[in-house]
Structure 1
Amino acid sequence: MLSFFEASLAQLSIHRVGNKMLDEHYILSDKPLNLQDETLPKLLMQYFLTPFEKINDVYRFTHSSGDLELNELYHFVRLFFEEEIDFHSMSQQITKHLYESSSHPKIKAGEVYVVNFEQVQLEGETLAAIGIFKSETKETYLKIYPEHGAFKVGYEEEAINIHKLDKGCLILKCEQEEGYKVLAIDQTNKQNEAIYWKDDFMQIKIRNDNFHQTGNLMEVCKNFVNEKLDGAFEMERADKIDLLNRSVAYFKEKEVFEVDEFTEEILGNPQAISMFKEYKTNFEEMHDLAIGDTFEISEQAVKKGAKIFKSILKLDKNFHVYIHGKREFIVKGFDEEKGMNFYQLYFEQES
């Protein structure tokens, strides 16, 4: 999770990029913006960095050839970090590359902000960072101001809402050989035209470390129990919850995930074990990622992932039963006289 409590905005260059497919062009500024106003940098920091505070996914730059230098964005940022190119020249090259990547007819024109940040904190490190942001959505704002003992109403068209960042990325100055640590946001497009920001312009993939392997495997477990097991086995809802609870307990208690150990302890049934391993392989292929059969379990990922495991047994609209363990202490039956299902709960103390 990103923190910018001590961060500062060192340099800022603003350009404009149009849609290449629509014969719109790009406009490059001659020099960086000179920020002398004390309030403006604080507003810009809020606009640029606040959306990243809740981002957990960390990416890496990639290239299909395996040669990172062929990734244009990585190349220009590396040149700046190694002081082989000045900041404004880098920002101009990045804008040209974004223009070349804007090849879908629905991509909107907008301003491009390239920012040099100092003392940004991520995963316990204080780092320099390059931020690249694009504003596409403009709004109209009313302005109320006093004049001659009364109030006047005015408006500002084509203004930017500092609480709504359209697109952005942060490239942290660390782990250069692995493709840097990269954070990315695209909040304006969810369709195919949005692919260009992460896939065409940035060419990034999620960092496949222990955090993501743990989180992905927990998602596999949840989906497998909730979606796949029903087709092969008749399972009561309480049995599913018990499986999910034992899965979470495994991740909380173990330091290392072992697929054979996990499936034997949690599933036990040879058919279910085979189905789980096949489901895991299909999940990897579908999401274009690799989850190891053995990896160190991330405690942080377990805390986050455990929230998606629901242990609530909902009975009509009358009762919610929270099952945390001891599956043998809850028994399902059918009352023929009432014509209704029932559960018996066994316990020692009431609180």
Structure 2
Amino acid sequence: MVTAFEAYLDTISVHHVGNQAQSEMYALSDHPLELKDELISSLLKQYFLSPFQKAVEVYHLMHSSGNLALNEVHNFVSQIFEDKDKFHEMSEQIAKHLYNVTNHPNIKPGELYVAYFKDVQIEGNLLDAIGIFKSENKETYLKVYPENSGFAVDYEENAININKLDKGVLIFNIEKENGYKVVVIDTANRGQDAAVYWKDDFLQLKIRNDSYNQTSNVLGIYKNFVTEKIDDEFDMTKADKIDLLNRSMKYFKEKETFDMDEFGEEVISNPKAIESFKTFKSQYEDEFDTRIGDTFEISDNAVKKQSRIYKSVLKLDKNFHIYIHGDNKLIEKGFDDERAMNYYKVYFKEEQ
């Protein structure tokens, strides 16, 4: 978790980065931005740092070759951390690097801000951090002000909403040899091909394999196993699948530590299905080159996030939704020959 109560903005440089796929250029400023007053500095701090207060996933900079020195952003920020006099020069290099990877036609041009913060807290440590931010989406704002014993209305186009950061990354001056501690925001182009350039091409990130990541991975893998894979080997109704998902979420909410053998016995129960899940998990680890321990501390934050996408709803045509939260033995599936339709029979003690 990132907190910025004690943080302050030390230095900031602004550049413009176009899209080379659209034959647009970049424009570099000659010197760092001069902040007119404390209010501007405070607004910029709010704009840049507020979105990171909910960020819980920590990444590291990396390079596909395994040689971290080849990661451009790691190289540039390392020079700044070692000699702050190089800040503006390296901010220009960061802008050029971003321009070089901005080659998807759907990537919008925008302003690039490189900022140096002091006393930003992550995981209990107050650290210097370099922030890199890009604003892509502009809005029109109305201004109402007194005039001639009444009011007048004006507007400002191509303005920035300080409550909507499009892209951002904070790189903390710690664990340099591992690629620093990094948290990232990317709300623009989410779910599109153009979105990968920020994390994958520009920053080249890998997620830290901590308890949060391992908890998220196991819950995600298990959800995919139940919803997509288990039908290959077992004949299961959707109600049975929902029950398996509910039992897994109950396990993660009640336990402090994940244990693979215990999880298999308490949640999956069927020996053949347990082995099938272990194989499915191993295949994921090989495909994504990510090792998930058979035991690890469960992250409550990861459980809360995953619980939002765990479905306990049985959708029947467009007429009914059945929410299954408990014993799946209290719901029975059948087929009515006369109506030629499936049906569910639900048992309960009292209506609420």
Q: What TM-score, normalized to structure 2? A: 0.85
Equivalent residues of 1:79, 1:85 under 8 A apart: no
Distance 1:21 1:345, change over 3 A: closer
Equivalent residues of 1:313, 1:323 under 8 A apart: no
Which residue does the alignment assign to 1:65? 65
For 1:80, the aligned partner's letter is: I
C-alpha distance after superposition, 1:276-309 (max 9, x if no partner): 1232234445655332334333344334434444
Distance 2:253 2:122 in 1: 24
Q: Which moved more, 1:233-242 or 1:220-229?
A: 233-242
After TM superposition, the structure 1 = structure 2 runs for residues 233-252 of structure 1, keeping only pairs within 5 Å, are 233-252=234-253
3-state secondary structure, aligned to 1:174 = coil
After TM superposition, the structure 1 = structure 2 runs for residues 177-196 of structure 1, keeping only pairs within 5 Å, are 177-190=177-190, 191-196=192-197
After TM superposition, the structure 1 = structure 2 runs for residues 224-239 of structure 1, keeping only pairs within 5 Å, are 224-239=225-240
Distance 1:193 1:118, change over 3 A: same
Distance 2:133 2:336 in 1: 65
- Structure 2: gaps spanning 5 or more residues: none
Distance 1:148 1:283 in 2: 69
Distance 1:179 1:150, change over 3 A: same
The CA deviation at 1:131 is 0.7
3-state secondary structure, aligned to 2:347 = strand
Distance 1:319 1:64, change over 3 A: closer
Is 1:220 aligned to residue 210 of structure 2?
no
3-state secondary structure, aligned to 2:273 = helix
The CA deviation at 1:319 is 7.9
The CA deviation at 1:327 is 5.6
Equivalent residues of 1:170, 1:184 under 8 A apart: yes
The CA deviation at 1:63 is 0.5
C-alpha distance after superposition, 1:30-87 (max 9, x if no partner): 2211213222112212221222222222211001121211111011111211227532
Equivalent residues of 1:15, 1:111 under 8 A apart: yes
Distance 1:140 1:218 in 2: 42
Q: Which moved more, 1:176-185 or 1:139-148?
A: 139-148
The CA deviation at 1:217 is 0.1
Q: Which moved more, 1:72-81 or 1:191-200?
A: 191-200
Which residue does the alignment assign to 1:162? 162
Is 1:208 aligned to residue 209 of structure 2?
yes
Which residue does the alignment assign to 1:79? 79
After TM superposition, the structure 1 = structure 2 runs for residues 1-351 of structure 1, keeping only pairs within 5 Å, are 1-83=1-83, 85-190=85-190, 191-284=192-285, 289-311=290-312, 322-324=324-326, 330=330, 332=332, 341-345=344-348
% identity of equivalent residues: 54
Distance 1:150 1:323, change over 3 A: closer
Distance 2:226 2:182 in 1: 33
C-alpha distance after superposition, 1:235-272 (max 9, x if no partner): 34453344234323433455543434432443233331
Distance 2:128 2:7 in 1: 9
Distance 1:31 1:315 in 2: 63
Distance 2:22 2:309 in 1: 43
For 2:185, the aligned partner's letter is: I
3-state secondary structure, aligned to 1:86 = helix
The CA deviation at 1:220 is 1.5
Distance 1:186 1:308, change over 3 A: closer
Distance 1:126 1:134 in 2: 24
Equivalent residues of 2:57, 2:212 under 8 A apart: no
Equivalent residues of 2:239, 2:324 under 8 A apart: no
Distance 2:141 2:169 in 1: 27
The CA deviation at 1:346 is 6.7
Equivalent residues of 1:11, 1:32 under 8 A apart: yes
Equivalent residues of 1:8, 1:119 under 8 A apart: yes
3-state secondary structure, aligned to 2:26 = coil
Distance 1:4 1:47 in 2: 12
Distance 2:95 2:334 in 1: 68
Equivalent residues of 1:335, 1:342 under 8 A apart: no
The CA deviation at 1:311 is 4.5
Distance 1:55 1:138 in 2: 24
Distance 1:334 1:2 in 2: 52
3-state secondary structure, aligned to 1:165 = coil
C-alpha distance after superposition, 1:317-349 (max 9, x if no partner): 67855534x666x363769899864233479xx
The CA deviation at 1:186 is 2.1
Distance 2:222 2:170 in 1: 32
For 2:240, the aligned partner's letter is: D
The CA deviation at 1:107 is 2.7
Q: What TM-score, normalized to structure 1? A: 0.85
Distance 2:300 2:147 in 1: 59
Give the alignment's Cα RMSD to 1 decimal: 3.0
3-state secondary structure, aligned to 1:15 = strand
How many residues of Structure 1 are paired with residues of Structure 2 in the alignment?
A: 347
The CA deviation at 1:98 is 1.4
The CA deviation at 1:126 is 2.2
Equivalent residues of 1:110, 1:134 under 8 A apart: yes
